[in-house]
C-alpha cells in the first residue's frame, strides 16, 4: 500500500509511530525465559525504534530492526549511535511480508503494533519459520476487551479496514499456527494516551497551521484526531494485547 508523503511527515517527528511504552516492553520481556547472551533478535515494523532501543537495554544480544521507510531507520541509527548501541542494532529496509532472512536465524521475533499490516495469523505463520527451534515470538495487536462494543466504535474500526476480535479468538489463532502461547499482557492506557495520542494531537495542531489548507492533508489530520477521540470514549472496550509465544 502506497501512503502519501504527508502521512510520513506526521509520524516522523513523533517519539512513537504507534501505542506503546517502555514499561510494557520491559514487563513483557520479563515473561520470557533468559535468552542466550548472544541472542539474535528481529524487530519487525520497528519505526524509529523506541522499543528497539528499549529491547537493547534488556538483553546483551544483537537486534535486527526492519521497516520499509528509510527515514525511520535513519533516525534509529542516529539514536542508537548516540546511545552507544550502534554495534548491537542493525537496520534493514524491507517489507514485513517479504522478510529477507533465512529460516531458523532468530532466538526472538518482536513486533509492537505492526502485525495488523499483514494480518495477525498470516504474520505469525510467515515469521514462525525464521525462529530457531524453541525460539520465541512476541507481538501486540488490537482486540476487544469486552463483548458488545458500541456501534459507533465498530463502525470506526470498519472504516479503518480492520475489525478486532476477542482475546480468546486471538488465542485460538495462535493455536492454529502451531505456536505455544506462553503469556498475554495488555498494554496500559498510558501507552495509548500519554505516549501516542497526546504527542499526536500536539503534532496535529502544529500541522494544521502549516499544512491544514490542503483538503487531503486536513482529512488525514481529522482522521488521526478522530482516532484519539475513539480511544478517549471507548478505551474500556479495546486495546493492544501482547502475545508471548514459543516455537515448539
Task: Render pLDDT for 144-172 as a digit per residue (tens, 0 to 9).
Answer: 999 999 999 999 999 999 999 999 999 99
In the chain the first and final C-alpha atoms are separated, in Å, by 34
Q: Show the cell assigned to 30.
A: 520479563
pTM over 0.85: yes
Query: What mean pLDDT value characterizes the chain?
Result: 96
Average pLDDT over residues 73-98: 96
Query: How many distinct structural domains can be found in the chain?
Result: 1
Which of the 8 DSSP states describes residue 2?
P
Q: What is the pLDDT of residue 1?
A: 55
Specify if 10 maps to a domain: no
Q: What is the pLDDT of residue 74?
A: 97
Specify if 149 maps to a domain: yes
Contact 166, 173 (CB under 8 A): no
Specify if 143 maps to a domain: yes
Other CB atoms closer than 10 Å to residue 225's CB: what's the count? 16
Domain of 118, CATH number, reads 3.40.50.150
Specify if 226 maps to a domain: no
Specify if 25 maps to a domain: yes
Is 90 exceeded by the pLDDT of residue 4?
Answer: no
Specify if 168 maps to a domain: yes
Is 70 exceeded by the pLDDT of residue 115?
Answer: yes
Strand partners, 166: 144
Torsion of CA 202, 207, 212, 216, to 10 degrees: -100
Average pLDDT over residues 167-193: 98
Is 70 exceeded by the pLDDT of residue 108?
Answer: yes
Specify if 41 maps to a domain: yes
Q: Residue 136 sits in which domain range?
A: 19-189+237-247
Specify if 148 maps to a domain: yes
Amino acid at each position: 500500500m502506497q501512503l502519501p508523503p504527508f502521512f510520513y511527515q506526521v509520524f516522523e517527528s513523533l517519539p512513537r509511530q504507534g501505542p506503546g511504552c517502555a514499561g510494557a516492553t520491559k514487563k513483557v520481556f520479563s515473561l520470557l525465559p533468559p535468552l542466550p547472551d548472544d541472542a539474535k533478535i528481529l524487530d519487525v515494523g520497528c519505526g524509529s525504534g523506541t522499543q528497539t532501543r528499549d529491547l537493547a537495554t534488556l538483553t546483551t544480544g544483537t537486534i535486527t530492526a526492519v521497516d520499509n521507510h528509510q527515514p525511520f531507520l535513519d533516525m534509529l541509527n542516529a539514536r542508537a549511535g548516540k546511545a552507544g548501541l550502534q554495534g548491537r542494532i542493525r537496520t534493514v529496509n524491507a517489507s514485513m511480508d517479504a522478510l529477507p532472512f533465512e529460516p531458523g536465524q532468530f532466538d526472538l521475533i518482536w513486533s509492537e503494533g505492526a502485525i495488523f499490516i499483514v494480518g495477525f495469523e498470516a504474520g505469525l505463520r510467515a515469521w514462525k519459520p525464521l525462529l530457531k527451534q524453541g525460539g520465541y515470538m512476541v507481538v501486540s495487536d488490537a482486540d476487544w476487551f469486552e463483548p458488545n462494543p458500541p456501534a459507533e466504535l465498530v463502525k470506526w474500526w470498519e472504516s479503518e479496514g480492520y475489525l478486532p476480535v476477542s482475546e480468546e479468538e486471538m488465542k485460538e489463532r495462535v493455536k492454529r499456527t502451531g505456536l505455544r502461547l506462553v503469556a498475554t499482557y495488555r498494554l496500559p492506557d498510558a501507552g495509548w494516551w500519554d505516549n501516542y495520542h497526546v504527542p499526536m494531537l500536539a503534532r496535529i495542531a502544529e500541522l494544521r497551521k502549516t499544512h491544514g489548507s490542503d483538503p487531503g492533508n486536513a482529512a488525514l489530520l481529522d482522521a488521526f484526531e478522530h482516532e484519539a477521540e475513539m480511544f478517549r470514549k471507548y478505551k474500556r472496550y479495546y486495546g493492544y494485547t501482547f502475545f508471548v509465544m514459543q516455537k515448539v
